[in-house]
Structure formats: C-alpha cells, structure tokens
Amino acid sequence: MPPLDAFYRKVGGVAATRENAHELLRRGEPVLLFPEGISGVAKPFSERYRLRSFSPGFARLSMALDVPVVPVAVVGAEEIYPLVGRAEGVGKALGMPYLPITPFFPLLGLLGALPLPTKWFIRFGRPVRFAVEAMETSYLRARDEAVHIRRRLQGMVTRLKSRRRSVFFG
C-alpha cells in the first residue's frame, strides 16, 4: 500500500528482495528478516506463538556472506491484533495479501485498527554462524539449518510465554 510503503522507506525500510539483503549485508548493515513470511502474521489467533515453517533464505544469505544469524523471540506482539479472519479478495484489491479481520476491525472502523496495549517480552539468542558454502550446494543444508533455528526459536518463545503473568501486564 503506497502510504505504508512511503512510511517504511522514510524510516529506513527497503523492499524485501534478495538483492537488497545482499547489498545491505555487504555494507555491514543489520538486516531484520521474518523467515515465516506472510504465513507468520496471517495465522489465526488460536495458532499464536506456534511458529510456521521458515524459509531457508536467511540461512542461505548467512552462508553466502558469512554473517551471523541472531534469533529473536518476541512474546506479546501476536495479541495486538487478534486475527479472527482474512478478507483475501478485498486485501488483494488494496494491494495487500489480505485485509485482517479482528474483533474490532473493520467493525469499529479506523478506531478498530489501533493495536491492543500488550506487554512485550523480547529475548535475543546467541548469534549462530554457519559454515560458508557455495550457493549451488547450500540449499539442502540451509533448509536443515532453518529447521534447527526454528526449533531453537520456538523453544525461546515457549519459555518466554510461560514466564509472563498476563498479556497486558508484566
């Protein structure tokens, strides 16, 4: 969506392409990737904090450019917009994968688009550095590494979630 695109570019965001990631990492810039992709934010509320499969792209980048992967677990974010449905046709017409339906949006209009005030917990894992491999031989290994990182991150998320007392308070 053009307004969001303009906002993200103003705060330093770039289009999520392999070329942009390579260029930023070559310059020594940090790159934040979401290996679940759209399926991670499009999951129903009942599946929150159950990580979906990871794309191996982040592991391939790490191997190709010899940069570490830092797993980051976040608990609290999946309650700000409790997704109860998706209007995919409307979303595609607006240039998005789907239009989210929450208990408050679109029922309350733009007011329903305000995020719920949840308490977030963020944990950074130890950096993981993969052995550098040629791109043509690394896909299967990258897939295996992505599965390993996903399992490790799922454990981090599960531990963080078990420690919190409330969604809205510490």
pLDDT along the chain (170 residues), means of 10: 77 87 92 85 89 92 91 92 90 86 90 90 94 70 93 96 84
Query: Does residue 113 form part of some domain?
Result: no
Q: What is the largest CA-CA distance in the chain?
A: 52
Query: Does residue 128 form part of some domain?
Result: yes
User: How far is it, in rounded angstroms, from Cα 117 to Cα 102?
Assistant: 15
Query: Does residue 141 form part of some domain?
Result: yes
Cβ-proximal residues to 85 (8 Å cutoff; 6+ apart), any chain: 100, 101
Look at residue 162 in the predicted model and tell me its pLDDT: 93
pTM: 0.83
Query: Does residue 60 form part of some domain?
Result: yes
Q: Structural domain tally of the chain?
A: 1
Look at residue 133 in the predicted model and tell me its pLDDT: 65
Look at residue 135 in the predicted model and tell me its pLDDT: 58
What interhelical angle do 57-65 and 18-26 show, nearest 10? Answer: 30
With H, G, I as helix, E, B as strand and everything else as coil, classify residue 60: helix
User: How far is it, in rounded angstroms, from Cα 86 to Cα 44?
Assistant: 9
Look at residue 2 in the predicted model and tell me its pLDDT: 66
Query: Does residue 168 form part of some domain?
Result: no
Domain of 131 in residue numbering reads as 16-80+118-162
Look at residue 41 in the predicted model and tell me its pLDDT: 83
End-to-end Cα, the chain, rounded Å: 35
Query: Does residue 91 form part of some domain?
Result: no
User: How far is it, in rounded angstroms, from Cα 155 to Cα 50?
Assistant: 10
Look at residue 136 in the predicted model and tell me its pLDDT: 58
Look at residue 94 in the predicted model and tell me its pLDDT: 85
Query: Does residue 42 form part of some domain?
Result: yes
User: How far is it, in rounded angstroms, from Cα 147 to Cα 23?
Assistant: 25
Which of 61, 70, 68 minimizes the C-alpha distance to 138? 61
Where do we find the tokens 């020594």?
Answer: 28
Query: Does residue 167 form part of some domain?
Result: no
